[in-house]
Amino acid sequence: MKKIERRFPLQVGVTFCVIAAVAAYPLLKWGSAAVATAALVGGVLSTCNVLLGFMMIEYGFEKSYTTFLKAVLGGMGIRMAFMLGALLILILACHMHAVALTVTVVLFTMVYLVLEIFYLHRKVDVKNLG
């Protein structure tokens, strides 16, 4: 059985905790409970999304190029559809604060995308050297 690298999920967890700690005071001091809840849910949703992407990278990395692209790009399409559906449900059915939820999802996704690119770059470098 292949060993799954724990470094990236740990980075994601630390990043989530740091951003949540930095954002907690302004959200709780000047934002409403609805804004804080939507921000928390948006952060958790983005975190789940990036961890699913990590699992797809881990699944396809040692496989053929075609399988890797199917796993990563196909998984990306499915994850984007899931995120859109989740956002629609949370905004329309659960009446979450739309701006706070959307901005949080976008910001967390951008930060996680940078982490994911660095992770994949490092992983490819190790594979090419080894």
Per-residue pLDDT of the chain (130 residues; tens, 9 = 90+): 567 789 999 999 999 999 999 999 999 999 999 999 999 999 999 999 999 999 999 999 888 989 989 999 999 999 999 999 999 999 999 999 999 999 999 999 999 999 999 999 998 888 787 6
Q: Count the domains in the chain.
A: 1
Domain span at residue 88 reads 8-123
Q: For position 124, what pLDDT does the model report? A: 85
Q: Is residue 39 part of a domain?
A: yes
Burial of 27 (0-12, 13-18, 19+ CB in 10 A): buried
Residue 2 within a domain: no
For residue 130, being part of any structural domain is answered with no
In a domain, 128, yes or no: no
Q: Residue 3 domain-assigned?
A: no
115 within some domain: yes
Q: Minimal CA–CA distance to 76: which of 54, 45, 101, 102?
A: 54
- Tell me, what's the pLDDT at 74? 92
